[in-house]
Chain A
Amino acid sequence: MKVVIGQGSCGIATGALKTEAEFKTQLEKQNVKADIDLTGCVGTCYLEPIVDVYEDNGDMTRYVKVQPEKVEKIVEEHLKGGKPVTEYAITDEDKQFLDKQERVVLRHCGVINPEHIEEYLAVGGYESAKKVVTSMTQDEVIAIIKTSNLRGRGGAGFPTWFKWNAAKGNPGKEKYMVCNADEGDPGAFMDRSVLEGDPHSVLEGMIIGGFAMGATEGIIYCRAEYPLAIKRLEIAMDQAREKGYLGDNIFGTGKHFDIRIKAGAGAFVCGEETALIASLEGERGMPRLKPPFPAAKGYWQLPTNINNVETYANVAWIIENGGEAFAKIGKAPSTGTKVFALAGKIKKGGLVEVPMGLKLKDVIYGIGGGIKNDRQFKAVQMGGPSGGCIPAALDDTPVTYEDIVKTGAIVGSGGMIVMDEDTCMVDMARYFLDFTKKESCGKCNYCRIGTKRMLEILERITQGKGEDGDIEKLEELANKIKDGAMCGLGQTAPNPVLSTIRYFRNEYEDHIYNHTCTAKSCKALIHYEITDKCKGCTLCAKNCPVNAITGEVKGLHVIDQDKCIKCGKCEEHCKFDAIIRK
């Protein structure tokens, strides 16, 4: 018997380590022999901590939300008694979350132990790299990637083969293969899960790409906020070196290729290739003018190729199964799968990997189970601060680079934040602008000053001080920044504003002209009232920090609007839904 505990960051956040400790205690206490092992993120974050119990014949029972108090029973009845505890096991409905997905990038996540290279080798790991390095030419590798039509998964969707080919063709004493693992998009954690759950697949992708472009060194630029990912990468690199897959004599060919990690220090702009290179060189992460492109003059002015974590995780699969097999998945020219971090007002949040071309509603309802508390679906935000909001009416849009761009959003790195009727779209635009304004590196005026001016207008609007002409001013600024900014951060920063104006102009108008927040979310534009559903339980009055609520026990309560600071505590505590926002 083997007990495998999901230990990605979200698993650990929900208490997987405490669950593991309890398993150790219970196994000893009940005198049961079983191995305890760990694995990465399965993707069903809403069910963590997840524990898989494997019988000796290979049968597996998956237990969900395994808090320590459930452990004793699982050990006693299943591990000792041989009878699975069905009430703690995953339901058929939740199983669908995984069954409806197609897994290429996440093929090993939540399956193998990321800290044991043997488990990766047992599923065919490093076979692709070996084949490439020992028996193929650089052009042959690039041709396969071209056939697959793999495109950059970091956001822009640029063909991977083209970048590799360009870097291969440019002369340089040294060449660098860089992995961008600086996942700075708030609301996205795909890369983290891949690095934590299957680090070897990223290393293998880098070895293959490094061979194709003729790189001498690989560098992984990873967020310092991802300590677990860095730890697992380091373990994986040590193991790969020991096996001779990295180092001076890779796969016995006498060729040199090694990889090192460089921890990023927290700057969203470093997702931009040239800014990332500046940061690698120990400088402020500010972008440089292109051309020259990194493929010609990158790290230390030498040919450099930069791909995203998810892009690399696809590479070994493509070599193993062929470019055609990959091109068959998805909806050409967007081939393959894409991993999304599904979050926000969604019932079943987590990581989902779907073939490109699946409709948005199939992801949100089919896999995600629909909207939390069965509220009304309003919009989905894709592409983070560089993307936009797609309204519910367009939920049959296929998820491809081309179709999503038409809506004004982008596929981006894969954040998919679902919003319901309580989310104010003006506030959403303000939120993203606040982010990009803070993250603007300050090099070019359009971005540095433009985003600040836009934010000021949006703040005014959400505070109820919007003026006639504000919407037009926002549009004008947005278009100028798009045209004038130097790098991707600035050029895309206005997207959340433009897309919300495009689909939710009425909300902007409500704020400005009617002084109401359509979603009843902007504090300055709402007030709280108590309806006749009130039972006089006094809970609201007791919790009001400013004593603004009065009323007799069992009698209707009233809010003194002059005293009320709109903190919302009364609404939070009311058990009868008697308090409403107006």
Chain B
Amino acid sequence: MSETKSCGASRREEFKDLNPVLDKYAKVPGSLITILQQAQEIYGYLSVDTINYISEATGIKPAKIYGVATFYAQFRLQPIGKYLIMLCKGTACHVNGADRIEEAVCEYLNIQDGETTEDGVFTLNNVACLGCCSLAPVMMVRSNDGNETYGNLTKDKVVQILAEIRERA
């Protein structure tokens, strides 16, 4: 199943950041979600190779790992852009016009929910609730520099914010 055929030692080398996690959790029952979370933290997403490697270490079938990974909203099977836009679609944001903000973002970036722009700068993810309801409508932008939250958005404001980020990127 593995995409790249390589011997055990070099595979261990390839996943050297993940090995400490597996050493700690691989044989602890019920730890699959924790392992997947940390793998995603390291690599940004869960590739087929990563899933297969976790399968070998834990003895859990790849199909089952895939099943768990696709069940939870947190896990991604594709790499994401440099900036992850988490657009809040919680009730308070919905009431305050989150759909129109989404329209503006999609139109400006030419992507839909879950997609990444061609230049690899932005990924758009609609999220259920960021819990900053008094600032609705809200979005959070995650990058290596941390999380930045933008509140009280309007169509123009959101486009302006994204334009500024794109310039920096």
Contact = CB atoms under 8 A, between A and B. Distances in A.
A417 B134 CA distance: 11
Interface string B10-44: 00000000000000000001111110110000000
Interface string A222-263: 001110000000000000000000000000000000000011
Given A13-B132, A280-B30, A567-B103, A186 B91 contact: yes
Interface of B: 29-34, 36-37, 67-68, 71-75, 89-92, 94-96, 100, 103, 127-136, 138, 140, 149, 151, 154-156
B88 to A, nearest CB: 8
A539 to B, nearest CB: 12
Contact of A186 (B34, B67, B73, B129): B129
Given A10-B134, A283-B68, A381-B91, A268 B156 contact: no
Nearest to B149: A13
Given A265-B37, A284-B71, A345-B96, A192 B131 contact: yes
Interface in A381-403: 381, 384
B95 A345 contact: yes
Contact of B73 (A14, A265, A280): A265
28 contacts: A10-B131, A10-B132, A13-B130, A13-B132, A14-B149, A183-B131, A184-B128, A184-B129, A187-B92, A188-B129, A189-B129, A189-B133, A226-B131, A263-B33, A265-B33, A266-B73, A267-B71, A279-B33, A281-B29, A281-B30, A282-B33, A283-B32, A344-B96, A349-B92, A381-B91, A384-B91, A432-B91, A572-B156
Given A45-B134, A344-B96, A419-B95, A265 B30 contact: no
Contact of A343 (B30, B31, B133): B133
Contact of B74 (A12, A265, A345, A419): A265
Contacts of A46: 134
Report the interface size class on chain A.
35 or more
Contacts of A350: 134
* Closest A-B pairs by Cβ, 3 of them: A187-B91, A343-B133, A266-B73
A277 to B, nearest CB: 10
B34 A262 contact: yes
A185 B133 CA distance: 12
B71 A263 contact: no
B131 A263 contact: no
Nearest to A280: B30
A435 to B, nearest CB: 7
A150 B94 CA distance: 33
A265 B90 contact: no
Given A188-B129, A225-B127, 8 more contacts: A13-B140, A262-B33, A263-B37, A266-B72, A266-B73, A279-B33, A281-B29, A282-B33
A370 interface: no
A497 B133 CA distance: 23
Nearest to A188: B129
Nearest to A427: B94
A268 B95 CA distance: 20
Contacts of A188: 129, 131
A189 B131 contact: yes
A226 B132 CA distance: 12
A268 B128 contact: yes
B58 to A, nearest CB: 10
Contacts of A567: 100, 103, 155
Interface string A508-544: 0000000000000000000000000000000000000
Interface of A: 9-10, 12-14, 45-46, 48, 183-189, 192, 224-226, 262-268, 279-285, 300, 341, 343-345, 349-350, 381, 384, 415, 417, 419, 423, 428, 431-432, 435, 441, 567-569, 572
Nearest to B35: A282
A276 B100 CA distance: 34
Given A13-B132, A13-B138, A435-B128, A417 B149 contact: no
B155 A572 contact: yes
A567 B128 CA distance: 23
Contacts of B155: 567-569, 572
B37 A224 contact: yes
Nearest to A439: B128
B67 to A, nearest CB: 6
B134 to A, nearest CB: 4
Contacts of B90: 186-187
Contacts of B94: 186, 431
A45 to B, nearest CB: 4
Contacts of B92: 187, 343-344, 349, 417
Contacts of B134: 10, 45-46, 48, 343, 349-350
A282 B128 contact: no
A284 B68 contact: yes
A263 B41 CA distance: 13
Contacts of A435: 128
Q: Which of A186, A224, A225, A226 gathers most chain B CB within 10 Å? A: A186
A186 B127 CA distance: 9
A187 B133 contact: yes
A431 B68 CA distance: 26
A263 B67 CA distance: 18
Contacts of B133: 45, 187, 189, 341, 343-344, 349
Nearest to B90: A186
Contacts of A262: 33-34
Q: Which of A263, A265, A281, A349 gathers most chain B CB within 10 Å? A: A265
Nearest to B136: A343
Given A266-B74, A568-B100, A14 B151 contact: yes
Contacts of A185: 129
A296 B135 CA distance: 43
Nearest to B40: A265
Q: Which of B90, B91, B129 gathers most chain A CB within 10 Å? A: B91
Contacts of A187: 90-92, 129, 133
